[in-house]
Amino acid sequence: MFSKAEVQPSRARLIIDCKEAPESEADLRHPKCRSAVLGHLEHEFGVESVILSHYVERQYGPRAMEALRRILALAGLLTQLGARPPAPNFPGTTKKQVVARCAACPFRPQTLFGGLREALLADFARFHAAFAEVTGRLHHYRESGCRACTSGTANDLVYIFQEVVGFGEACLQAGPPEEGAE
């Protein structure tokens, strides 16, 4: 629905054709629209505004762009954290068995942070639910050979939580957008 997009470099704006979407979905508050816009912005540089082109165009300026950039920065952080290699400690186990065990682990950094990234880019409510669920499960996980890895993951989750809180505080300080401005 939101796959047709054009960047106008001279005006530093991204125009997304939303005519195939219901008018109610052609809004950054709608998860499908926001997810599509983030997907386009992730591969662009220098975009200062977004225009959603439907029968009526909606333009989003500096405040919305700041929020979108912060979401993309958090997604980038999740990607970086997902690149951390597992740190298993299973004495008497072959490397092949350890690799297989880590590959199947739901707390493997690549799996866990990749899932959180996907949820973040799809929908805030989904991200919140996934974050709460994974922290609860990690808190109760007690495999001794995974202690170093899960400890690192717990620290990473605390850092992500602090980043999300900071993001929310920045949005509250910015206040609601002016009528018609975004």
Based on the fold, state whether residues 23 and 90 are members of the same structural domain.
no
- The answer to whether residue 67 sits within a structural domain is no
Based on the fold, state whether residues 88 and 162 are members of the same structural domain.
yes
Range of the domain at 40: 5-60
Mean pLDDT of the chain: 87
Does position 178 have pLDDT exceeding 60, yes or no? no
Based on the fold, state whether residues 91 and 28 are members of the same structural domain.
no
- The answer to whether residue 178 sits within a structural domain is no
Span 44-69, pLDDT tens digits: 888 899 989 888 888 998 989 999 99
- The answer to whether residue 120 sits within a structural domain is yes
Based on the fold, state whether residues 55 and 96 are members of the same structural domain.
no
- The answer to whether residue 27 sits within a structural domain is yes
Q: How far apart are CA 5 and CA 178, in angstroms?
A: 26
Based on the fold, state whether residues 35 and 97 are members of the same structural domain.
no
Based on the fold, state whether residues 131 and 165 are members of the same structural domain.
yes
Span 65-108, pLDDT tens digits: 999 999 999 999 999 999 999 999 999 899 999 999 999 999 99
Based on the fold, state whether residues 54 and 89 are members of the same structural domain.
no
Q: Which of these ranges, 25-34, 44-53, 169-178, has the smallest mean pLDDT?
A: 169-178
Where is pLDDT greater, at 176 or 38? 38
Where is pLDDT greater, at 153 or 24? 153
- The answer to whether residue 159 sits within a structural domain is yes
- The answer to whether residue 65 sits within a structural domain is no
Residue 2 pLDDT? 62
Q: Is the dihedral of CA 75, 119, 105, 133 positive or negative?
A: positive
Based on the fold, state whether residues 97 and 27 are members of the same structural domain.
no
What total number of domains does the chain contain?
2
Residue 45 pLDDT? 84
- The answer to whether residue 15 sits within a structural domain is yes
Residue 173 pLDDT? 59
Span 10-22, pLDDT tens digits: 778 888 888 888 8
- The answer to whether residue 69 sits within a structural domain is no
Based on the fold, state whether residues 99 and 26 are members of the same structural domain.
no
**146 within 8 A of 107, measured Cβ to Cβ:** yes
Alpha helical stretches, state H, the chain = 31-41, 62-82, 95-103, 109-122, 124-140, 147-174
